[in-house]
Every structure is written in C-alpha cells, then in structure tokens.
C-alpha cells in the first residue's frame, strides 16, 4: 500500500502516521524530509525528527522501518535556495544514514540526476525523472521510484528474516 501527503512535514506526521494501525504492517518505508528542507529547516533537526518518527513506529506492530534518501530539487523551495537545499539534502542523507542501524534502515535512492550546480544545468537534463523539479513525474522517474520502494521493502524483508532467526 502506498500513501502520500502533498506538502507533508516530518514534524507534522508523528500523529498522522497511525492511520495504518489496522493494517498491522511488519515493514514501513518512509520518504519524508524534503519539504522540511525546502522550507528552510535544518538537516540535523529534520533527520533527527524522522529518525525519532521511525523509532516511534517500532513501538507498534512494525518491526522494521526503511527510510529513503532525499532526491535533489530544482524548484518548490520556499525558505531555501537551490544551493542551500542541495547542501542540506546531502547533509540530511549523511546524518540519517549514520543514525540508522538495526531495525531502522537507510536506503539511498540511485539512478536519479545528481547535479552539483542546478543553476548551471538546462531543464532538459533533469526532466528524465521530474517535469517540475520536485515530484517524480515522468515514466522513467516512476520506474526509478518504484525500484527504490521495492528495494527498500526487500531490504526490510531481509531484516525481518534476520529477526525471525
């Protein structure tokens, strides 16, 4: 099951995440944090808030939480420049990766355009996965995103098997 909230912020999801309780999932995959960074929230605070959210999910029937790395953006930045967002995105991914271990897993999404300086690139160079520079909107982008979700779930399933031994 896939659920998304446009404009979602990590700190606002703590209470809202409980909608799935009746489903009793063993593994949950989270992709949150990019809107926080786009609104100027710091990488440390945002990654810590997401990690705390993931840990709180482990206090339920959830056994494993996989968090996805944040993808680059070139638009939709409210309190942050493209350069600041990119710097914060890289710091967030590094910080979250270092926190994750055991039952909270970090999955680095791969295959998306990784542009060092968005201001010097033409739009056509990033439309392979996003028409608006924020959301996955192209066929290739959806293929990559589904692959990321599948791989994160497989990583979670592997961890579940380890827990059952």
What pLDDT does 93 receive?
A: 95
Q: Which residue has tokens 């999932």?
A: 25
What pLDDT does 82 receive?
A: 81
Report if residue 5 sits inside a domain.
Answer: no
The residue among 12 and 161 whose pLDDT is bigger is: 161
Counted domains in the chain: 1
Report if residue 27 sits inside a domain.
Answer: yes
Secondary structure (DSSP) of the chain: -----TT--TTTSTTGGGGGGGG--SEEEE---HHHHHTT--HHHHHHHHHHHHHHHTTTT--EEEEEPPPP-SS--SSS-HHHHHHHHHHHHHHHHHH-BTTEEEE---SS---S-GGGS-GGGTTTT-SSSSS--SHHHHHHHHHHHHHHHHHHHHHHHHHH-
Q: Lowest-pLDDT range, 19-28, 108-117, 143-152?
A: 108-117
What pLDDT does 5 receive?
A: 65
Render pLDDT for 98-112 as a digit per residue (tens, 0 to 9).
999 889 999 998 766
Report if residue 4 sits inside a domain.
Answer: no
What pLDDT does 128 receive?
A: 66
Report if residue 124 sits inside a domain.
Answer: yes
> Angle 116-68-131 (CA atoms, 0-180°, nearest 5)?
55
Report if residue 2 sits inside a domain.
Answer: no
Which is nearest to 9 in space by CA: 30, 29, 32? 32
Report if residue 30 sits inside a domain.
Answer: yes
Longest dimension (CA), the chain: 51
What pLDDT does 165 receive?
A: 81
CATH code, domain with 92: 3.40.50.1110
Q: Which domain holds residue 41?
A: 16-164
Report if residue 10 sits inside a domain.
Answer: no
The residue among 76 and 144 whose pLDDT is bigger is: 144
Confidence class for position 115, pLDDT limits 50, 70, 90: very low
Report if residue 107 sits inside a domain.
Answer: yes
Render pLDDT for 38-66 as a digit per residue (tens, 0 to 9).
888 899 999 999 999 899 888 888 999 99
**Residue 1 has which token pair?**
């099951």
């Amino acid at each position: 099951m896939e659920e998304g909230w446009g404009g979602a912020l990590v700190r606002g999801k703590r209470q809202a995440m409980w909608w799935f309780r009746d489903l009793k999932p063993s593994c949950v995959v989270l992709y949150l944090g990019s809107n926080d960074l786009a609104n100027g929230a710091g990488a440390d605070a945002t990654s810590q808030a997401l990690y705390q959210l993931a840990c709180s999910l482990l206090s339920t029937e959830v056994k494993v939480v996989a968090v996805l790395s944040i993808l680059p953006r070139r638009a939709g930045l409210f309190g942050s420049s493209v350069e600041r967002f990119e710097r914060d995105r890289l710091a967030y991914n590094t910080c979250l990766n270092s926190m994750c271990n055991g039952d909270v897993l970090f999955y680095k999404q791969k295959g998306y355009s990784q542009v060092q300086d968005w201001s010097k690139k033409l739009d056509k160079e990033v439309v392979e996965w996003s028409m608006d520079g924020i959301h996955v909107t192209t066929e290739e982008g959806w293929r990559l995103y589904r692959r990321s979700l599948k791989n994160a779930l497989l990583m979670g399933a592997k961890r579940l098997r380890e827990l059952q031994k």
